Amino acid sequence: MSARAVTEQSFNQEVLQSDKPVLVDFWAAWCGPCRMVSPILDQIASENTDKLDIVKVNVDENPQLAVDYQITSIPALKVFKGGEVVQSIVGAKPKAALEADLAAFLA
Amino acid sequence: MRNVIIIGSGPAGYTAAIYAARANLKPVLIASSVEAGGELMNTTEVENFPGFPQGIQGPDLMFKMQEQAERFGTEVILDDVTEVSLDGPVKTVTTGYSGTLEARSVIFATGSAYRKLGLADEERLSGRGISWCATCDGFFFKEKTIAVVGGGDSAMEEATFLTRFASKVYVIHRKDSLRASKIMQERAFQNEKIEFLWNNEVVGINGDNAVESVTLRNTVDGSEQVLPLGGLFVAIGNDPRVHLVHQQLELTSDGVIAVDGRSSRTSLAGVFAAGDVIDPHYRQAITAAASGTVAALDMESYLAELEQAEAHLDAPADHEAEAEAEAVESASARAAASASEAATVGA
């Protein structure tokens, strides 16, 4: 299962109002490291469907979200819980490193 | 057991793979999970790689190299190497998720990693205005005043690229001349949005939640000034990626893997190295590719020598392994002697 796309229109409902923690992957097509980390996030998503929701925001198509969350480097991964950012990860990392960073949400 | 494992997927790794695959050695290339394709994946136009008179995008060049390596039977694994054991006739390479692979030889083409400034607030403000990838992050600095630190080709390319977005780009360089190629320098000098701050080094990055300014120190008179900025791109060079082979292979005083003369032979028999990980000077896509060729050819002769030694063994079956180990050991001793000689000369 690959992570689904979220837009400025659906962000409130799908991310901020979610009961589950949501990891948002801020990405763009021109960003090489974003494309490399994307399949890894899909894997983590499908292995943890009950614990963590993983969605993608294309910053090119949703620039206001990038501004709202002060994104200046991508890939930027932000975990939202109860509408608040509770963790930020910057840059592409191997699966094991991401799992270690996200351990609190995958347990 | 495999013939050869190539670690790294930049121009050195893929070129070694093309040669090894065409020699029918069925190489396996471990490309990394998130950095496959290497440094050129974060580059825009490559104008100095022969054969592309109109230039080629860095990622496109790397996809083509991968395709060429695969066409001849290279197995590319998108995973990271976590551990290597290089001593003796059987080399083992452990990966994150693809298990442990065994081979008679290994080619290291692990390249180099971006150098950091080494400042206290660098980590904290990474992704909050500090970036190492202009092509990824330039978009977020529309109409902002930003700076690039560095004086090489990468710094000039980034500064020029960033003028597409930013209203002003300072280039901060600690000397009064650049080591970038003339054409890249000229392009930057002629760009009205670029201003050079010569003889300055960044000694502080300031801002609570995002970069607001940097503190510069003049390298000539020691005076300091604060420069307000919306973003800082770091392009001050790279360090060879040798963490996997620490304690196993000899390094030179430059920190690169020591090789014997112009060859790719490291201090251990059957272990070869190519590209930026052995090159503290040139570090071009084309020199890395050439270096990958050297490694593949050295590896081929090593395997041929090994096969010959095995064929000539007329020792009884139970002594075969021992004799083979001995043959490898003598080759190993030879390689080690020449590589340490190289290391000593380097020091």
Q: Which domains does chain B have, with CATH numbers?
A: 2-114+238-309 (3.50.50.60), 120-234 (3.50.50.60)
Q: In whole angstroms, give the CA distance from residue B296 to residue B272.
A: 8
Closest by Cα among B261, B275, B268 to B6: B275
Helix runs in chain B, H state only: 11-22, 58-71, 134-137, 153-162, 182-189, 285-311, 317-346
Closest by Cα among B91, B226, B212, B230 to B148: B230
| Residue of chain B whose Cα is closest to the Cα of A98 | B34
Q: Report the residue of A73, A77, A85, A90 to disrupt the B interface, i.e. the one with the largest count of B CBs within 10 Å.
A: A73
Low-confidence ranges of chain A (pLDDT < 50): none
Q: Which residues span the domain enclosing A42?
A: 4-106
Q: Enumerate the residues of chain A whose CB falls inside 8 A of the CB of residue B131.
A: 72-73
B35 touches chain A (CB under 8 A): yes
Strand B2-7 relative to strand B100-108, pairing: parallel
Q: Which is the catalytic residue, given B60, B87, B121, B137?
A: B137
Q: Are B236 and B173 in contact (CB under 8 A)?
A: no
Please tell me what DSSP assigns to residue B15: H
The answer for B 84-103 residues in CB contact with A (under 8 A) is 96-97
Q: Which of B37, B42, B136 sits opposite A73 (nearest CB)?
A: B136
Please tell me what DSSP assigns to residue A28: -
Q: In whole angstroms, give the CA distance from residue B302 to residue B317.
A: 23
% helix / strand / coil in chain B, to the nearest 5?
Answer: 35, 25, 40
The domain tally of chain A equals 1
Sole residue written with tokens 């150098």: B115
pLDDT of residue B326: 62
CATH of the domain at A20: 3.40.30.10
Q: Is the pTM above the cut of 0.90?
A: no
B282 touches chain A (CB under 8 A): no
Amino acid letter for position B232: L
Which residue numbers of A are catalytic?
A: 31, 34
The answer for B 231-270 residues in CB contact with A (under 8 A) is 231
pLDDT tens-place values along chain B, 347 residues long = 999 999 999 999 999 999 999 999 999 999 999 999 999 998 888 999 999 999 999 999 999 999 999 999 999 999 999 999 999 999 999 999 999 999 999 999 999 998 999 998 999 999 999 999 999 999 999 999 999 999 999 999 999 999 999 999 999 999 999 999 999 999 999 999 999 999 999 999 999 999 999 999 999 999 999 999 999 999 999 999 999 999 999 999 999 999 999 999 999 999 999 999 999 999 999 999 999 999 999 999 999 999 999 888 755 555 555 655 666 666 666 655 666 555 544 43
Residues 6+ apart with CB under 8 A from B62: B9, B10, B11, B14, B37, B38, B40, B41
Q: In whole angstroms, give the CA distance from residue B291 to residue B58.
A: 19
pLDDT of residue B345: 47
Q: What's the maximum distance between 2 C-alpha atoms anywhere in chain A?
A: 33
Residue contacts between A and B (CB atoms, under 8 Å) = 76
| Residue of chain B whose Cα is closest to the Cα of A63 | B140
Distances (CA, A) of A64 to A7, A86, B35: 10, 20, 29
Torsion sign over Cα B310, B315, B318, B324: negative
pLDDT of residue B292: 98
The answer for B 119-138 residues in CB contact with A (under 8 A) is 126-131, 133, 135-137
Q: Enumerate the residues of chain B whose CB falls inside 8 A of the CB of residue A36.
A: 33-36, 41
